[in-house]
Structure 1
Amino acid sequence: MISNIEVNEAVIKMGRLLSSKSAIPVLAGVLVESKEDCLMFTASDGTESIIHRIMMDKVEGNEVLQQGRSVFSKETFDVAKKLKGNITFELNDTVLTVSQNKTKLEFPTMDAEDYPKIAVESNSSPLILSGPSFADMVSRTTFAASKNDMRPILMAVNMSFKTDETVFVSTDSHRLSRIVLDGCHHEEEDFALSVPASILDQAMKSFDLSLDVMIFPNNQSIALASGNGKTILISRLLEGVFPEVSRLIPTDFETNLVVNRKEFVDGLELLQAISSNSVINLKVDGLFVELKATGTGTKGTKELAFETYDGEENFSIGFSAQYVLDALKRMDESSVRLRFNGSMKPFVIVSASDESNAVQLVLPVRQS
């Protein structure tokens, strides 16, 4: 017997893995194991997996009456999450009965022995990041990972662990995001992992990020666990060599522009709505920054007062509004600094204070 609240939480945490399609029929279901102290759910698409435990507490209405294991269908959870109050799951051979009050539903199940073994493996002690630090680093990098599988390695966030810092980097070859967390010490030698951005996004949805996040690295896989150990995510690492991106980020700049972040976001969103290709032209002239967009039969401009500017007069550059907006929306500073080296070279976006360890790099586009 289990509370419907716990069932709904399990469905949410399993997320897209619950509805993913697989060539292996048994992976269309969820492995459910009832143990003395918990009910454990495992969902997998063959590449990524999630294990979620519901701890038993009679006071909360959760109780295991008999231990066992079976594979429940996705439809079981689609229906069960609509029930209210405490729900009873009873397995008789291959038939699962789900009951609540005067409702009784029957579902077929699959043999748990056919479900692939999903286990947490590690060749070193776990790395631990605070939940807020993990969330900040993930939110500032996964958006810049590639969504195109033409170069699978670019669909990863490269996570580099050193004795004095942790670095997360992502790029889709048109933009790049890097964030550095200082003071993250560990006893092992330096190493790096290319982790699918999708599993990190899933962790953001599945973990209690007020708790620490534990990272268990292995040669071919990685496991991420919420600090209370209730939820564990497991994924294969992406094969290949992640590009050496440090040399792509300039250290010296010809032009520096500081603007109010919210005003800049509002201006870009306004003009993006009329731009036919999301391209915005930026020009610094006098005391203002002029943003310009052109669409099919439409055009528009928006002037913003800059906070500081040093560089050539009438400097202009074109860029993807969406790429810049993606970067700006992952920042919480009131003012941001854009640093340029000409109109056809990559530019970076950082905190106006220059104290941030987060850098966003965007390639320009030819101006219309």
Structure 2
Amino acid sequence: MKFTVERAILLKALAHVQSVVERRNTIPILANVLIAVKDGALKLTATDMEIAVVEEVPGVQVTREGRTTAPAATLYEIVRKLPEGATVELDHAGGDAALKLRAGRFNTDLSVLPVEDFPSMTEGKLPHGFALPAGQLRDLVDRTRFAISTEETRYYLNGIYLHAAETDGTKVLRAVATDGHRLARVEEPLPDGADRMPGVIIPRKTVNELRKLAEETQDEIAIRLSDTKIRFDIGTVQLTSKLIDGTFPEYERVIPRGNDKILRVAKKEFAEAVARVAAISSERSRPVKLSIDRNHLLLSASSAEQGQAQEELDGEVVRYEHSPLEIGFQARYLNDITDQIDAEVEFRFADGSAPTVVTDSAKPEALYVLMPMRV
């Protein structure tokens, strides 16, 4: 195998594939990237046995076809540190021979491992398929992934639940995530071909890799899936992932239906006030108390070590027409939700101890549920 390629092109492709490689693993081949040249095209593949990223690299001048593997992190670092505009030559004579990399006056030999040891994750049938504009997919991910649980014992919450559903008689594609303290539910119109898809839980690592790749395109992203695996085709990159083998809880049961006390508050002023008040405490789980009265909101927080802080918001940015209410929330959870909202936050309360519904008044397709804290 022998080819040359511009440094910038190779670097971009290596950045995509090497990010799925686990730095610490007990299987040496999983630290390597598969480099394959066939029919005049270069493909790079990396996997951790849960996710695989395959990228077809354009602009390659092929001298000799072949395949080998090389340490992903090392190869990426070398190419990253080459000067801009450099032309990179990779040359492998076959077998156990080292992979030779040359760029200008620089050259190095990289150890390889047998191609036969490299696992394949991209095989198998994926009977369900549809496509989403990249912007819609980014929106689904951004508005839900903050609520993914990191508690490994509840592994079925360690991802985004993607499924077809109905809202007021309209079919939608729905993404849901929850960690037991907050829940995020976001909808987009159901794309053609998605009506019979199984409900699937996409793992957190896959979600994060998908979001990075989706940032680089405005085109549609093709999605194919089965009960156990999902694949995203994003331009020249193919991301394949195993799905979480578990049952997502019946989340609709925890979404309150009768919350009738409505608070509307400007997002910017509210988020900034929460951040200032919460700064009194260094605890990650610090609570912020909301004391709500007619068109008036008082935010307060206290710390045994640091003291207390409060800030008032009035009728210029607050609308509330119900009986007085006091309720507390974890500051970080409040900020995570308000980060998803553009202009005005709408809270729907039942009382000071019941789950609260939070929505974006400009985007009703997104709904959040937040559990209160005792303050």
Shorter-normalised TM-score: what interval? over 0.9
Indicate which of 23, 26, 29 corresponds to 2:32.
29
Residue correspondence of structure 1 range 148-163 to structure 2 within 5 A: 148-162=151-165
Partner of 2:93: 92
2:164–2:195 CA contact under 8 A, matched in 1: no
Name the aligned partner's letter for residue 312 of structure 1.
S
Partner of 2:53: 50
Give percent identity, aligned residues only. 23
1:121–1:218 CA contact under 8 A, matched in 2: no
1:31–1:115 CA contact under 8 A, matched in 2: yes
Partner of 2:350: 341
Partner of 1:202: 209
1:274, distance to aligned residue in structure 2 (A): 1.5
2:294–2:322 CA contact under 8 A, matched in 1: no
SS in 1 for 2:244: coil
* Mapped pair 1:191 → 2:194: no
- Counterpart Cα distance in 2 of 1:15 and 1:210: 23
1:365, distance to aligned residue in structure 2 (A): 0.5
* Mapped pair 1:351 → 2:352: no
SS in 2 for 1:143: helix
- Counterpart Cα distance in 2 of 1:287 and 1:328: 19
| Inter-CA distance 97–27: structure 2 relative to 1 (3 Å threshold) | same
Partner of 1:81: 80
After superposing on structure 2, the runs of 4+ consecutive aligned residues of structure 1 that deviate more than 4 Å are: none
SS in 1 for 2:14: helix
Partner of 1:216: 224
Name the aligned partner's letter for residue 181 of structure 1.
E
Residue correspondence of structure 1 range 91-240 to structure 2 within 5 A: 91-93=92-94, 94-162=97-165, 164-186=171-193, 189-207=196-214, 208-226=216-234, 228=235, 230-240=236-246
1:214, distance to aligned residue in structure 2 (A): 1.4
Partner of 2:331: 321
| Inter-CA distance 190–45: structure 2 relative to 1 (3 Å threshold) | closer
1:181, distance to aligned residue in structure 2 (A): 1.0
1:157–1:195 CA contact under 8 A, matched in 2: yes
Deviations along 1:174-197, one digit per CA (max 9) or x if unpaired, are: 110000112433275252111112
1:10, distance to aligned residue in structure 2 (A): 1.7
- Counterpart Cα distance in 2 of 1:209 and 1:174: 33
SS in 2 for 1:75: helix
* Mapped pair 1:265 → 2:276: no
Deviations along 1:313-349, one digit per CA (max 9) or x if unpaired, are: 2x110001101111111222x1110111111111011
Normalised by the length of structure 2, the TM-score is 0.91
1:12–1:206 CA contact under 8 A, matched in 2: no
- Counterpart Cα distance in 2 of 1:183 and 1:19: 35
Normalised by the length of structure 1, the TM-score is 0.92
1:171, distance to aligned residue in structure 2 (A): 0.4
Greater alpha carbon shift after TM alignment, 257-266 vs 230-239: 230-239
1:278, distance to aligned residue in structure 2 (A): 2.1
2:164–2:194 CA contact under 8 A, matched in 1: no
1:81, distance to aligned residue in structure 2 (A): 1.8
Count the aligned residue pairs.
Answer: 357
1:248, distance to aligned residue in structure 2 (A): 1.1
- Counterpart Cα distance in 2 of 1:209 and 1:161: 25
1:15–1:202 CA contact under 8 A, matched in 2: no
Partner of 2:69: 71
Greater alpha carbon shift after TM alignment, 82-91 vs 302-311: 302-311
- Counterpart Cα distance in 2 of 1:26 and 1:223: 22
